[in-house]
A and B are shown apart, each in its own frame.
Chain A
């Protein structure tokens, strides 16, 4: 169940933590990385002047999420255009929302924990690249001494492959 699409008046957050553990040695700390996950961001949403129906939608969402138990996704609008976590990140409540009743309107503070934030994967993007024509050959004789430079100047996009056989032996 997605968090209600109500834009907060202000947000604050931290940047989470990597999935590491640390031990102390006489030579200084040794840090183990267990996976490439970064999560545990805490996002605080501050709402001012919500209507009755809006505060009830947040309250109902909290109850339907079994409080801090179930996870859910949230609209990216909550971040106000900031790119901090993946669009597919999932959230949990860290604590019950706090409602301040102001007569006709309500001020609400919501604290969310991101339990699947960012995975450290490198994505190679070859924007607009196309494969140039290929020339088949069974063998290619290099003459001279290393390093050899295979220069592909003139192809689009430009690419240069450097073949360095320094230290190689048959």
Chain B
């Protein structure tokens, strides 16, 4: 699938993934945890782009229109530049929701929220 547009974000929020586990509270007050798998999921990345051109804005919106919430895709290095983030092999990103656009006169800002998911085939 098409890689996310190679645009450098102006802001970025990262939430590391979770390892599926179920907490169990015993009668003595101990809080135990049962882990179900070695894999992790629910990595989130929120990217903010400010001052986009209309062409750059169209790159993002058309990418979303093609992939929607359904088709996973890869991220370019520009999206995570400088943060030294690492992710499980072969995982890909999907949109959490549609990109949000704010259009002040002359300034286009877009907020994109992505989730990292294990590989699957579509």
**Residues on A facing B (Cβ under 8 Å):** 19, 34-35, 37, 39-40, 52, 56, 59, 62-63, 66-71, 92, 96-103, 113, 115-116
**Nearest CB to that of A94 among chain B residues?**
B23
Decide if B29 is an interface residue (CB 8 Å cutoff): yes
Docked-complex contact B18 and A19, CB < 8 angstroms: no
Decide if B111 is an interface residue (CB 8 Å cutoff): no
Q: How many A-B residue pairs have CB under 8 A?
A: 71
Docked-complex contact B31 and A35, CB < 8 angstroms: no
Given A52-B84, A67-B18, A98:B31 Cβ within 8 A: no
CB-CB under 8 A from B29, the residues of chain A are: 19, 34-35, 37, 39
> CA of A99 to CA of B82 in the docked complex: distance in angstroms?
13
> CA of A102 to CA of B82 in the docked complex: distance in angstroms?
11
**Nearest CB to that of A20 among chain B residues?**
B29
**Residues on B facing A (Cβ under 8 Å):** 11-19, 21, 23, 27-31, 33, 35, 40, 42, 82-84
Docked-complex contact A62 and B16, CB < 8 angstroms: yes
Distance in Å: Cβ of B121 to nearest Cβ of chain A = 26
Docked-complex contact A68 and B28, CB < 8 angstroms: no
Docked-complex contact A68 and B83, CB < 8 angstroms: no
Given A35-B28, A99-B15, A101-B13, A68:B84 Cβ within 8 A: no
Distance in Å: Cβ of B114 to nearest Cβ of chain A = 14
Given A34-B29, A69-B35, A92-B31, A63:B16 Cβ within 8 A: yes
A37, A68, A98, A115: the one within 8 Å of B15 (CB)? A98
Given A52-B84, A101-B12, A37:B28 Cβ within 8 A: yes
